[in-house]
């Protein structure tokens, strides 16, 4: 019996290690994804099932969740990045490095976004379908439009496997606090561990996006440590 238990535990450990080290690189960096479900809003299969359970539970409590952003592939993230770079450098006349610093307050460099995995979602209150500029922190605070949703998620999201990715911890560096951004830990933690084992420096250096010529060694190293790795510790 003891030998059987030891073999079983060894199998579980090996399976977990294998799953952490064999995630397809193209999936990690948003170049492909073969495990998505949904129409305009697409999620990784397990994430989708867990979200539907959370959505139903919230509805029973009179709270109506709405996903405004889920899976984004590399090309979509590249489009977002390039548009912001053009806006900051042309419309606001910022120097390139300053523009990049402004972009990475909230937006990731293509190939490094957690949204590539289909495990991360941006959530608001479905009761305000015509609200513009929804991803603003103040709208999730007390007296804000989305405070009811945020309060429910604070109490219940982790029961369904969803954790804030970028918390309101003053010691945390990198991306700004995002009270709307939740990540499905059972899958995203595996993807995260696989991503940081890749040659991220090489991946970022090889990018052909607006402003990438200003990605020097010190910038890339800081971005990896602060923006990619300095997340909610519960998601690691």
Domain of 157 in residue numbering reads as 19-235
Across the range 107-111, mean pLDDT stands at: 97
Residue 133 lies in a domain: yes
Question: pLDDT value at position 34?
Answer: 83
49 vs 20 pLDDT, higher one = 49
Q: What is the DSSP string of 30-91?
A: TS--SSEE-SSS-EEHHHHHHHHHHHHHHHHTT--EEEEE----HHHHHHHHHHHHHIIIII
Q: Domain for residue 4, yes or no?
A: no
- The answer to whether residue 149 is domain-embedded is yes
pLDDT category at 23 given cuts 50, 70, 90 is: confident
What is the structure's pLDDT at 12?
43
Q: pLDDT tens for residues 56-100?
A: 999 999 999 999 999 999 999 999 999 999 999 999 999 999 999
The reply to whether 13 falls in a domain is no
Instruction: Examine residue 108 and state whether it is found in any structural domain, yes or no.
Output: yes
Average pLDDT over residues 191-205: 96
151 part of a folded domain: yes
4 against 170, higher pLDDT = 170
User: Which pLDDT value is given to residue 1?
Assistant: 43
Evaluated on CA atoms 31, 231, 19, 22, the torsion sign reads positive
Q: Tens digit of pLDDT for each residue in 162-186?
A: 999 999 999 999 999 999 999 999 9
Task: Give the mean pLDDT of the chain.
Answer: 92
Side by side, which strands form the sheet with 181-184? Answer: 65-69, 120-125, 181-184, 162-164
Count the domains in the chain: 1
pLDDT at 5 over 50: no
Diameter of the chain measured on Cα atoms: 71
Domain assignment present for 14? no
Q: What crossing angle do the helices spanning 45-60 and 147-156 adopt, rounded to 10°?
A: 110
Q: Is residue 7 part of a domain?
A: no
User: What confidence tens digit (pLDDT) does each residue in 113-142 have?
Assistant: 999 999 999 999 999 999 999 999 999 999
Domain CATH number, residue 120: 3.30.1380.10
Provide the pLDDT for residue 33.
Answer: 84
Q: How far apart are CA 225 and CA 21, in angstroms?
A: 20
19 pLDDT tier (thresholds 50, 70, 90): very low
């Amino acid at each position: 019996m003891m030998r059987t238990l030891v073999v079983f535990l060894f199998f579980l450990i090996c399976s977990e290690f294998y799953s952490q080290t064999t995630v397809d690189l193209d999936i990690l960096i948003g170049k492909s994804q073969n495990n998505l479900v949904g129409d305009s809003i697409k999620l990784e299969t397990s994430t989708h099932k867990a979200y539907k359970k959370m959505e139903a539970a919230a509805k029973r409590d009179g709270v109506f969740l709405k996903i405004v952003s889920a899976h984004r592939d590399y090309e979509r993230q590249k489009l977002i990045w390039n548009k912001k770079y053009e806006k900051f450098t042309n419309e606001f006349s910022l120097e390139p490095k300053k523009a990049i610093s402004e972009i990475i307050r909230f937006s990731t460099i293509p190939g490094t976004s957690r949204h590539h995995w289909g495990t991360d979602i941006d959530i608001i209150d479905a009761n305000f379908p015509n609200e513009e500029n929804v991803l603003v922190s103040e709208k999730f605070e007390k007296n804000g439009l989305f405070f009811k949703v945020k309060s429910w998620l604070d109490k219940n999201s982790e029961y369904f496997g969803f954790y804030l990715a970028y918390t309101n911890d003053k010691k945390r560096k990198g991306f700004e606090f995002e009270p709307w951004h939740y990540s499905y830990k059972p899958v995203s933690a595996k993807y995260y561990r696989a991503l940081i084992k890749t040659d991220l420096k090489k991946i970022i250096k090889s990018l052909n996006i607006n402003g990438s010529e200003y990605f020097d060694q010190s910038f890339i190293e800081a971005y990896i440590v602060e923006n990619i790795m300095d997340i909610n510790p519960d998601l690691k």
